[in-house]
Amino acid sequence: MTTDQLELEGFVDDSPVEQASPPVIIDRSTLERWGDCPHQAWHVERGGIFTGSIDADVGNEVHAILSRAVAARHEGEPAGRIRDLIEELAMQARPDIQPRVLAAAGRKWPLVSLICNHGYGPERAPEDILRFDGGPRGFEGQLAADILPEAEDCSRGPIRLTCEVDLLMATASPEELDLVDWKSGWRRWTAGDVLESFQFNFYAWVILHNYPKVNTVRVRVWMTRDGEGTGVVSFRRQNMYQIGQRLLSAVHLYLQHRDAAAPENVTAWPAADKCSLCPAATRCVLVHAPEADVAKDERAYLAQYVAIQAAADRMADVLAARVRKLGVDIEADGMAFGTGAPTAARAKPCKLYQVKAKD
């Protein structure tokens, strides 16, 4: 052994090893909230805001049931057993919402056909099931793809988008995949809704990144309550750039505002249809802005009114739920809220009626 070899063997490099920054993981619902209204997203990320509901709990139960049903089909169970399993699991749902779960998953055979057949035609092989919510390793519904690399100054890692699909299936063509998403609520979805939806553009983008040989993701929303689905909407690889730019816009809003020290520094986009459903409406900066600052600008004043109205409506819903739980109206400082409000006197209407004959 030479002197050079001995020196090399005894050499230990004590210089620090540069570690790659961990990825910044953003799930679909979080990114969608930032893209919908950064101000809302900022408040929600800081916690203390309840975003749940009975309808959401019902939806979670239905999704869990259908996850079990798809898993059974993936293991080779026949259609009849899948149908029975859906009914059994719905019967065993959380006792406080079981009737609602039964109603939301009541149309079982259309669900079974969707899982087990090509349309209403030939039987689909269990091997066609590629990914599903709650699936085992290699078949899990969780998918991810990086949309931005690590920052040049290493201040952050790559931006990684994640989502969990309900049911992803192979088709007769290796260039196409079928994606089914369960919706158990009352909303009637259309193909146009699917095409414009942030959720399904996001899903298609992530799926196409994970399946480089696939050129088309065919998406259908299945409304479990009605046993009906939307028409199939195709998201194609040629649209990846356009979809990616939409996602990037939301990512940049997230990066711009996520570390803001105060809500006043975060952009708000009020609109009646959004504010009425916003879980952070009562904390909106527009609700608390001084009137003097906005009265000079009619458009800003209208935006403030929309936000305040949404906050008031949400407070009324919370008070109503409290009154029904307590069984009595709530009183404070000479005011009351509940069912005991006096009915306004109204003039009796004039109408034709029969007079009894006098004796």
CB atoms within 10 A of CB 164: 18
Is the residue at 155 inside a domain? yes
Instruction: Tell whether 234 and 272 lie within a shared domain.
Output: no
Residues 101 and 225 in one domain: yes
Q: Is residue 337 part of a domain?
A: no
Asked if 197 and 243 sit in the same domain, the reply is yes
Q: Which residues of the chain have pLDDT under 70?
A: 1-19, 119-120, 291-296, 358-359
User: 192 with 286, same domain?
Assistant: no
Say whether both 294 and 322 belong to one domain: yes
Residues 243 and 285 in one domain: no
∠ CA 302-29-252 to the nearest 5 degrees?
A: 70
Q: Which pLDDT score, from 0 to 100, does residue 285 have? A: 82
The DSSP string of 139-174 is: TBSEEEEEEE---TTSSS--EEEEEE-SEEEE-SST
pLDDT score at 7: 43
Residues 107 and 194 in one domain: yes
With a CB cutoff of 8 Å and minimum separation 6, the contacts of 8 are none
**Continuous segment of H or E residues that includes residue 109:** helix 108-116
Tens of pLDDT, residues 254-313: 999 999 999 999 999 988 888 878 888 888 888 777 766 666 677 888 888 888 888 899
The confidence score (pLDDT) of residue 15 equals: 52
pTM of the full structure:
0.82
Question: Which of these three, 222, 254, 286, is where a domain ends?
Answer: 254
Strands (E) across the chain are located at: 24-27, 129-132, 142-148, 159-164, 167-170, 176-183, 216-223, 228-229, 233-236, 330-332, 335-337
DSSP state of 124: P
Q: Does some domain include residue 40?
A: yes
Domain end among 227, 254, 281 = 254
In a domain, 355, yes or no: no
pLDDT tens-place string over residues 77-90: 999 999 999 999 99
Q: Determine the pLDDT at residue 8.
A: 39
143 shares its domain with 191:
yes
pLDDT of residue 11: 45
**Euclidean distance between CA atoms 86 and 83, whole angstroms:** 5
User: Cα–Cα distance between 33 and 306 in angstroms, integer?
Assistant: 19
Q: How far apart are CA 285 and CA 269, in angstroms?
A: 11
β-pair partners for 82: none
Q: Is 268 helix (H, G, I), strand (E, B) or coil?
A: coil
Is 344 a domain residue?
no
Residue 10 within a domain: no
Which of 254, 285, 310 terminates a domain? The answer is: 254
Task: Give yes or no: residues 173 and 218 share one domain.
Answer: yes
Domain span holding position 281: 268-330
Residue 91 belongs to domain with CATH number:
3.90.320
Cα 250 from Cα 33, distance rounded (Å): 9
Task: Give the number of C-alpha atoms closer than 13 A to the C-alpha of residue 25, restricted to the C-beta side.
Answer: 7
The pLDDT, as a whole number, for residue 3 is: 45
The total of structural domains in the chain comes to 2
d(CA 231, CA 194): 9
Q: Is residue 85 located within the same domain as residue 187? A: yes
Same domain (yes/no): 174, 277: no
Q: Is residue 96 part of a domain?
A: yes
* Pair 76, 112 in one domain: yes
Whether 339 is covered by a domain: the verdict is: no
